[in-house]
Amino acid sequence: MAERFTGSFTQQEPIPEEAIAAALGVMRSGRLHRYNVASGEEPEAAALERDFARMTGARYCLALASGGQAMAIALRAAGVRPGDRVLTNGFTLAPVPGAIAAVGAVPVFVEVTERLVIDLGDLEAKIASVGAKVLLLSLMRGHIGDMSALLRLCAEGGVTLIEDCAHTMGATWDGRPSGRFGLAGCFSTQTYKHANSGEGGLLISDDAEFMARATMLSGSYMFYGRHPAGPEPEIYERLRYETPNCSARMDNLRAAILRPQLATLGERVARWAALYRSVEVGLEGTPGLVLIARDAREGFVGSSIQFRLPGWEGPRIAALVARCAARGVELKWFGAAEPAGFTSRHDSWRYAPAQRLAQTDRILSTLIDMRLPLSFGLDDGRLIARIIREEVAAAAHAAA
């Protein structure tokens, strides 16, 4: 009998008891809104901002309603205006071009490489030809790439870097935390990321004026003085009259759920590394299957794994996905004709002008992606790899 996997690829771990207790405390207080504070009390949202600023080494942190809101607010606070072009990766998730569109700007997609990082040659060419002043770099699936080369290109082209760190919370490049390479880093605490509050976002930066604008945009009313991880109140003197309130605050309940999770992020990152490795080792040497090479400087978080099936035709990949699904292994394919679930592509985002991305399309047409939730153990990782390995071999056999 063929082995079957019975775990759920969308099942995260439960919220830790300490976080549940903290959430109950907030609910008993009735003070869920971040600016509803009893005298002498530090609200959970403000404490979360302090915690995350300390963790990442950023001067400032702002807690928001989602990762998408963090990106849209960051773009606007960085001075992006309607009609401006904003560079971003051709391979990313829908909230990234969505955030660009939310500020009325136009996404310009940059090709990705076979390592699933932004193509620096195409980036350089597009910086020169498009005249964009901002790059919203999506560290999609935690692939980081050569950040020093990227920073050089941005500096030469006068391009401001904003990092989308939805998949790199807890990751580093050359020892430096992801999100600390440009003007700002945007994180998500949505259920499928590295800390889970259902929805949520965190924005970090060292730039006082940028963060003051972002705080006003988030909807701070005139309570910006209640941001211990925010800039000095003096900087708001002029800004506070000029910056609209877009109401995208995080509440104390979500912040309470997140703080104990941030405190144990390092431990989860280590477990993800072991789980990733259990799958990777099981897939190594599978004929026809190419794993994604990682740069030694990349301290990535193994919350998902990708591989390529170069030369495979669409129907054969579709058959592999179906056969793995029948054995309980849920693979995502970015090459299907229609976007399903989380697999939309640049050509699904038709509010943006159609763009030619021959290299990205070629890579995505044979790219497989798989979630690795921490509800899986190492034996699960090994079993999943065995199933994929067998089905890849069976598909190759069928084609021969």
Residues found near ligand PLP in the complex (CB under 6 A): 66-68, 92-93, 95-96, 138, 140, 164, 166-167, 188, 190, 201
DSSP calls for 17-50? HHHHHHHHHHHHHT--STT---TTPPPHHHHHHH
Whichever of 172 and 196 has its CB closer to ligand PLP, that residue is 196
| Beta carbon of residue 237, minimum distance to ligand PLP (angstroms, whole number) | 32
3-state secondary structure of 350: coil
What is the number of other CB atoms lying within 10 angstroms of the CB of residue 342? 12
Whichever of 139 and 289 has its CB closer to ligand PLP, that residue is 139
Whichever of 100 and 283 has its CB closer to ligand PLP, that residue is 100
Tokens of 382: 């090994």
Helices (H), 158-294: 208-218, 236-242, 252-263, 265-283
| Beta carbon of residue 162, minimum distance to ligand PLP (angstroms, whole number) | 12
Report the C-alpha gap between 21 and 110 in whole angstroms: 45
| Beta carbon of residue 263, minimum distance to ligand PLP (angstroms, whole number) | 21
Q: Are 298 and 307 a contacting pair, CB within 8 Å?
A: no
Report the C-alpha gap between 342 and 370 in whole angstroms: 11
| Beta carbon of residue 37, minimum distance to ligand PLP (angstroms, whole number) | 26
Q: Are 214 and 64 a contacting pair, CB within 8 Å?
A: no
Whichever of 164 and 298 has its CB closer to ligand PLP, that residue is 164
User: Could you give the dihedral angle defined by the CA atoms of residues 344, 348, 350 and 354, in that order, rounded to the nearest 10 degrees?
Assistant: 110
| Beta carbon of residue 268, minimum distance to ligand PLP (angstroms, whole number) | 17
Whichever of 357 and 383 has its CB closer to ligand PLP, that residue is 357
- Name the residue number minimizing CB distance to ligand PLP: 67
Whichever of 165 and 289 has its CB closer to ligand PLP, that residue is 165
Q: Name the nearest CA neighbour of 250 among 51, 13, 14, 10.
A: 51
Tokens of 194: 């590295």
| Beta carbon of residue 367, minimum distance to ligand PLP (angstroms, whole number) | 15
Whichever of 29 and 113 has its CB closer to ligand PLP, that residue is 113
3-state secondary structure of 371: strand
Report the C-alpha gap between 134 and 155 in whole angstroms: 11
| Beta carbon of residue 351, minimum distance to ligand PLP (angstroms, whole number) | 17
Cα dihedral 166, 172, 177, 181 sign:
negative
Whichever of 164 and 369 has its CB closer to ligand PLP, that residue is 164
Tokens of 325: 């699904």
Tokens of 372: 């690795």
| Beta carbon of residue 304, minimum distance to ligand PLP (angstroms, whole number) | 10
